[in-house]
Amino acid sequence: MKTASIERILAARKERRAVALVTDLGSGAQLVMEETGGESAPNLSKDVVASILSALADDRSGEIDANGRKLFVQCFVPAHRILVVGAVHITQALAPLAEILGYSVKIVDPRRAFASEERFPEAEISHEWPDEAMSKWKPDKRTAVVTLTHDPKLDDPALIAALRSPAFYIGALGSKRTHASRLERLRQAGISDPELARIHGPAGLDIGAKSPSEIALSVLAELTVERHGKRRQ
């Protein structure tokens, strides 16, 4: 692999951009292609480019046929993330389960007694205010945001930041009454109804969850539905 290709892949990883290294197995020629499809590929047809981008979207490395030529597509895709607001009991169940599912977990809570390395040894922890942490973490289309504190001072700024991002899932814990009050506060903050419709509240699939672990499971189940584009009937 050429130095220039390595540098492009490393830069993309740092910026959480997905790229594919495309290698012609016959000639050895290589091309780094962005997920936007903006990369010039003069020797590849539109159909082949579409196949490469489809493989990249699915994080599916492997061989593809390019009109008789064999290409190997190696995908470099950022890990999916879950940004959790609130170092609460549900978070203690959600974080390790999310890690088992392959997510990178980040937790923000300015209450240091709750957000400690002892309680969350595997997660990245921020003691900033949630909107400040969201500004640094920059939720993207491979990011889910879940608010769990029930405290408007913490949850609302995080939700506003998430709604201004392409996060694939935004969930907020609380009863239907709590969620209705939340939506009204966010409307008064200037959030439109179409934007508010992105919030899953109360967060989680209705599986009769009672315990923190069951609630965490329901949230991750709903998040999985959204990630894979499977809508509930």
Residue 95, Cβ density class (10 Å: 0-12 exposed, 13-18 middle, ≥19 buried): buried
Query: Which element (helix H / strand E) includes 171?
Result: strand 169-172
pLDDT value at residue 154: 96
* pLDDT tens column, 105-120: 999 999 999 999 999 9
Phi-psi category of residue 203: left, alpha or beta, with phi > 0 → left and psi -120 to 50 → alpha: beta
Residue boundaries of the structural domains of the chain: 3-76, 81-227
* pLDDT tens column, 160-199: 999 999 999 999 999 999 999 999 999 999 999 999 999 9
Q: Locate all alpha helices (DSSP H) within 19-175, ordered by sequence.
A: 46-57, 89-100, 130-137, 152-163
> What percentage of the chain exceeds 90 in pLDDT?
67
Instruction: Give the pLDDT mean for 98-106.
Output: 95
Query: What is the secondary structure of 102-152 as a DSSP string?
Result: T-EEEEE-S-TTTS-TTT-SSSEEE-S-HHHHHHHH---TTEEEEE-S--H
Instruction: Give the pLDDT mean for 151-161.
Output: 96
* pLDDT tens column, 60-81: 999 998 888 899 999 998 889 9
Across the chain, mean pLDDT equals 91
What are the φ and ψ backbone dihedral angles of 44, each rounded to 5 degrees? -120, 140
Bridge-partner residues for 76, per DSSP? 19
Instruction: Give the pLDDT mean for 38-47.
Output: 70
Q: Which two tokens stand for residue 181?
A: 């009050």
* Of 116, 122, 128, the residue nearest 94 (C-alpha): 122
Domain 81-227 has CATH 3.40.50.720: yes
Is pLDDT above 50 for 228?
yes
Say if CB 174 and CB 202 are below 8 A apart: yes
- Top pLDDT among 42 and 217 is at 217
Is pLDDT above 70 for 233?
no
